Amino acid sequence: MAARLVLASTSPYRRELLARLGIAFDTARPEVDETPLPGESPTDLACRLAVAKAAAVAAGGDAWVIGSDQVAELDGRALGKPGSRERAIGQLQSMSGRAVEFRTGVCVAGGDGVPRFSLDTTVVRFRTLGDDEIARYVDAEQPFDCAGSFKSEGLGITLFEAIETRDPTALVGLPLIETARLLRAAGFTLP
């Protein structure tokens, strides 16, 4: 299939993951307000934002668009991207010795007008972390743009006891197993 494909994201992590599928694609910044709605669960937030990102970029175009969003959930509340050293340290302190669920929604929209959607849940079990090791980690990797304040593809893996997942790429931000399934359903030919 020679259809045009667009990743509705400027995330370098998602771009690197999608490139692994060997399909040519462009990227576009989705103009979507990511503020949670009142009473919105982390699962609903991840789903809504993945669909909204794909729809925002697909609107009026002829391309297939992939939208994705990830939300970390602890005690029923969403943990956003920390944005600062202090917030990253605070998030990691709150997750120390605990299990955190990461909801990653992916949507493929456009083309035939039928959006295709999937949700992945990955559970990360954190080791009990000392304040000094949290600070060293945050200073070394500066994960300020990552849900949960870590990069599992980097040093962040040292913070965990275990990862429970169907798709190891989901934790990085784009579940490739489901993305490939959705693209095949849209008519794309993959290996």
Per-residue pLDDT tens digits for 31-65:
999 999 999 999 999 999 999 999 999 876 788 99
How far is Cα 185 from Cα 112, in angstroms, rounded to an integer? 11
How far is Cα 143 from Cα 37, in angstroms, rounded to an integer? 25
Per-residue pLDDT tens digits for 131-146:
999 999 999 999 998 8
**Is 69 marked active-site?**
yes
5 three-class SS: strand
pLDDT of residue 115: 85
All structural domains of the chain with their residue ranges: 5-185
CATH 3.40.630.30 describes domain 5-185: no
CA distances, 139 to each of 83, 86, 134, 135 (Å): 13, 11, 9, 6
Could you list the pLDDT tens digit for every one of the 191 residues in the chain? 457 899 999 889 899 999 999 999 999 999 999 999 999 999 999 999 999 999 999 876 788 999 999 999 999 989 888 999 999 999 999 999 999 999 999 999 987 777 899 999 999 999 999 999 999 999 999 999 888 899 888 899 999 999 999 999 999 989 999 999 999 998 898 87
Catalytic residue among 26, 33, 44, 69: 69
